[in-house]
């Protein structure tokens, strides 16, 4: 129990949102330490006091995993931080991760009633605070597990969807084994999102929580190559399989010059730096080109991550090249703001059409066209169109293509029983994650295409409930 | 290429749509992945619907506007034509399709330009517009998915 005394509810609009302290932009542009420091207990209580504690809280409906947001915010205001953590963990096994990377501004905070007239309650920051507080106590509470059901479940992939399914099923008494292709757990949380946005010890700690629920994780296990899904079910004694493979195949723009030296996909670039610690080369085995003039294609969170990573790797100039305007940028406003503060150059309404190289095959620049947004089409979307004669060159020695990811076909090619859509994503039932293969479920980016951590977790949670039902109805030997 | 009447021009365009449908059908048969076989057969069906529209135009003698003229996204101008293998993915199939439609559009624009007969020139212009619409449909699908983050 925390020693913090409850504080009263604030009168609506009388207390401004509590800002979260963060590193100085110039200083942080040269280190990989986390940018925001998080709330102190006092700050968290003041922010929590802004909650109206609605009788019918709309914020919960905005959360893909249905956390009792009102409940945990009240607990924080009351100074019962462990109570807050317990409420969050009832629905979310990865609160420290979600508190950092969820787009709350388009989910729970978007529908917060306070937000109708004032700035909404900082739900994400409070979630982060509660999770960090518990970790700082050094003892993470493990909920009581249901009695063993005798059912065994294989989960492929230890990203947000896989970890959620594993945690939910372990709580219900099933024996869960995760098969992870890499040598570390967490999927995109580990290889994709950089340390300065999501410290890896936090990912490790949340994975450790799932492990403490009894989940076994087997690393370096590429399902589809080493063993098939069919074999997991028929020979390895698993009663069900969940596929949470993520979207691991980067899209390229298919423009000339993408094979030049110094052109990376964001996946490769971020994996080299985050997972393989290229920032510590040669002590770490993996190098990465420490570009001086880096061009990043794309306007999503991954593009911001790549650009800010390039800056921290020592680049003198980093440009984000994006075909549309700031309004259409899919990255979180907070990430764009941080990137701009750090000096990333946003080249908006610019389309890279050709990557230029020298005789040795190294990147020297990017030919771009200026774009303008056309009239809305039938879908209501204003598509970018090139401005005639607007060609110009952005000098660059490194290019990172961060425009999106598709489905990695390694597993699906070895599993012909799975129905795929034309983009190679697994076709699964929206509500249950059930696939065309009996006993096999899927969720997260491998089904819906590259999306967010919390949507993958939401899909994992739904699939876990459906799997539990099916497993319990199944006769086992 | 010499054309003396609108009917001749339309017969030529119809023949091209039939060839396109055959191209996608044959390509589908080569594909290793089932979902790509299905996707290419869908493209073949689209070409057949283009053929049917042109047959109706020829037989009724009226070339009505299909949709209001749209801006050229020019995605096809900057992407590299993929090598055709039995392992095409859908993004590559879209590039292939938009490039084919772009080439057809260019051809009709050129025929419109060199045609001395005003009526015939207008038919070619309308055919170019049709191909422009088909191109845009593939470009928009490519843009919505592959270029979503850009």
Global pTM?
0.93
- Give the model's pLDDT for residue B66: 56
User: Is the pLDDT higher at A3 or at A263?
Assistant: A263
Judged against a pLDDT cut of 80, whether residue B2 lies above it is answered with: no
- Give the model's pLDDT for residue B21: 97
Compare CB distances from B80 to A255, A297, A330 and report the shortest one's residue: A255
Q: Please measure the distance between the N-terminal and C-terminal CA atoms of chain B and give it in whole angstroms.
A: 41
Q: Do A383 and B73 touch (CB under 8 A)?
A: yes
The number of beta carbons lying within 10 Å of the beta carbon of residue A341 is 15
Instruction: Give chain B positions within 8 Å (CB) of A449.
Output: 145
Chain B nearest C-alpha distance from A12 (Å): 38
Q: Do B149 and A404 touch (CB under 8 A)?
A: yes
Instruction: Give chain A positions within 8 Å (CB) of B146.
Output: 251, 253-254, 403-404
Judged against a pLDDT cut of 80, whether residue A378 lies above it is answered with: no
- Quick one: three-class SS letters along B34-64? HHHHHHHHHHHHHHHHHHHHHHHHHHHCCCC
CA distances from A16 to A40, A47, A117, A170 (A): 16, 8, 12, 41
Nearest to B55 by CA among B18, B3, B23: B18
Residue A93 in contact with residue A205, Cβ under 8 Å?
Answer: no
CB contacts < 8 A, A to B, total 82
- Give the model's pLDDT for residue A2: 55
Residue of chain B with shortest Cα separation from A413: B33
Residue with tokens 């028929």: A234
Q: Do A403 and B148 touch (CB under 8 A)?
A: yes
Could you give the domains of chain B?
Answer: 6-147 (1.20.1260.10)
Largest CA distance in chain B: 48
The mean pLDDT of chain A is: 95
Judged against a pLDDT cut of 90, whether residue A136 lies above it is answered with: yes
Q: What would the two tokens of residue A397 be?
A: 């020695």
Residue with tokens 């283009």: B50
For B99-147, the pLDDT digits (tens) are 999 999 999 999 999 988 888 899 899 999 999 999 999 999 999 999 9
Judged against a pLDDT cut of 60, whether residue A1 lies above it is answered with: no
Q: Mean per-residue pLDDT for A167-195?
A: 96
- Give the model's pLDDT for residue A361: 98
CA distances from A469 to A151, A174, A238, A466 (A): 12, 12, 16, 5
The percent of residues in chain A predicted with pLDDT above 90, rounded, is 91
Instruction: Give chain A positions within 8 Å (CB) of B70.
Output: 377
- Give the model's pLDDT for residue B150: 87
SS3 A426: strand
Please list, in sequence order, all residues whose beta carbon lies within 8 angstroms of the beta carbon of residue A353, skipping any fewer than 6 positions away: A255, A367, A368, A369, A391, B77, B78
For A71-97, the pLDDT digits (tens) are 999 999 999 999 999 999 999 989 999
For A405-463, the pLDDT digits (tens) are 999 999 999 999 999 999 999 999 999 999 999 999 999 999 998 788 999 999 999 99
- Give the model's pLDDT for residue A414: 95
For A159-180, the pLDDT digits (tens) are 999 999 999 999 999 999 999 9
For A243-296, the pLDDT digits (tens) are 999 999 999 999 999 999 999 999 999 999 999 989 888 899 999 998 999 999
CA distance A83 to A65: 19
Q: Do A383 and B89 touch (CB under 8 A)?
A: no
Residue with tokens 């009240």: A74
Chain A nearest C-alpha distance from B52 (Å): 23
Residue A305: its H or E element: helix A301-312
Chain B nearest C-alpha distance from A448 (Å): 12
SS3 A243: strand
């Amino acid at each position: 129990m925390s020693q913090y005394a409850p504080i009263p509810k604030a009168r609506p609009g009388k207390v401004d949102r509590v800002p979260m302290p963060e590193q100085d932009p110039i200083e942080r542009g040269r280190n990989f330490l986390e940018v925001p420091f998080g709330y102190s207990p006092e700050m968290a209580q003041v922010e929590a006091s802004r909650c109206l504690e609605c009788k019918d809280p709309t914020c919960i409906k905005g959360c893909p995993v249905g956390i009792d947001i009102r409940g945990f915010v009240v607990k924080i205001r009351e100074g019962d931080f462990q109570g807050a953590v317990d409420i969050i963990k009832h629905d979310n096994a990865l609160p420290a991760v979600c508190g950092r990377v969820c787009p709350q501004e388009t989910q729970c905070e978007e529908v917060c009633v306070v937000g109708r007239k004032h700035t909404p309650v900082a739900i994400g920051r409070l979630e982060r605070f509660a999770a960090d507080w518990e970790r700082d106590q050094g003892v993470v509470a493990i909920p009581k597990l249901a009695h063993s059901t005798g059912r065994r479940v294989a989960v492929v992939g230890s990203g947000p969807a896989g970890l959620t399914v594993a945690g939910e099923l372990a709580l219900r008494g099933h024996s869960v084994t995760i098969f992870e292709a890499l040598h570390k757990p967490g999927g995109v949380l580990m290889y994709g999102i950089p340390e300065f946005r999501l410290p890896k010890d936090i990912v490790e700690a949340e994975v450790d929580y799932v492990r403490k629920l009894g989940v076994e994780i087997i690393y370096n296990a590429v399902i589809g190559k080493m063993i098939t899904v069919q074999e997991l079910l028929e020979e390895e004694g698993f009663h069900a399989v969940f596929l949470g493979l993520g979207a691991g195949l980067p899209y390229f723009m298919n423009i000339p010059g993408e094979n030049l030296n110094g052109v990376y996909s964001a996946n490769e670039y971020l994996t080299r730096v985050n997972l393989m610690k290229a920032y510590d080369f040669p002590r770490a085995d993996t190098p990465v080109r420490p570009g001086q003039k880096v061009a990043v294609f794309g306007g999503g969170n991954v593009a911001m991550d790549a650009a800010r990573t390039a800056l921290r790797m020592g680049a003198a100039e980093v440009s984000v090249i994006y075909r549309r305007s700031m309004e259409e940028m899919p990255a979180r406003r907070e990430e764009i703001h941080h990137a701009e503060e750090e000096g990333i150059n946003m080249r908006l309404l610019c389309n890279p059409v050709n990557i230029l190289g020298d005789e040795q095959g190294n990147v020297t620049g990017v030919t771009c066209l200026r774009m303008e947004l056309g009239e809305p089409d039938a879908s209501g979307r204003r598509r970018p169109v090139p401005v005639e004669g607007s060609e110009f060159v952005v000098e660059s020695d490194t290019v990172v293509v961060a425009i999106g990811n598709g489905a990695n076909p390694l597993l699906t090619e070895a599993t012909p029983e799975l129905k795929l859509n034309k983009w190679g994503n697994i076709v699964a039932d929206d509500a249950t994650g059930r696939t065309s293969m009996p006993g096999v479920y899927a969720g997260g980016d491998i089904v819906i295409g590259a999306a967010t951590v919390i949507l993958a977790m939401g899909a994992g949670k739904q699939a876990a409930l459906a799997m539990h039902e099916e497993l319990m109805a199944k006769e086992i030997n | 290429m010499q054309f003396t009447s609108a009917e001749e021009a339309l017969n030529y365009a119809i023949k091209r749509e039939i060839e396109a449908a055959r191209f996608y059908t044959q390509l589908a048969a080569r594909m290793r992945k089932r979902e790509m076989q299905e996707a290419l057969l869908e493209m073949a069906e689209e070409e057949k619907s283009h053929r049917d529209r042109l047959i109706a135009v020829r037989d009724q003698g009226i070339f009505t506007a299909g949709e209001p003229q749209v801006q050229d996204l020019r995605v096809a101008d900057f992407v590299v034509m993929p090598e055709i293998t039995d392992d095409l993915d859908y993004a590559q199939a879209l590039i292939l399709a938009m490039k084919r439609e772009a080439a057809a559009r260019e051809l009709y624009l050129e025929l419109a330009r060199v045609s001395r007969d005003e009526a015939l020139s207008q038919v070619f212009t309308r055919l170019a517009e049709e191909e422009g619409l088909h191109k845009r449909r593939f470009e928009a699908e490519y843009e919505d998915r592959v270029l979503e983050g850009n």
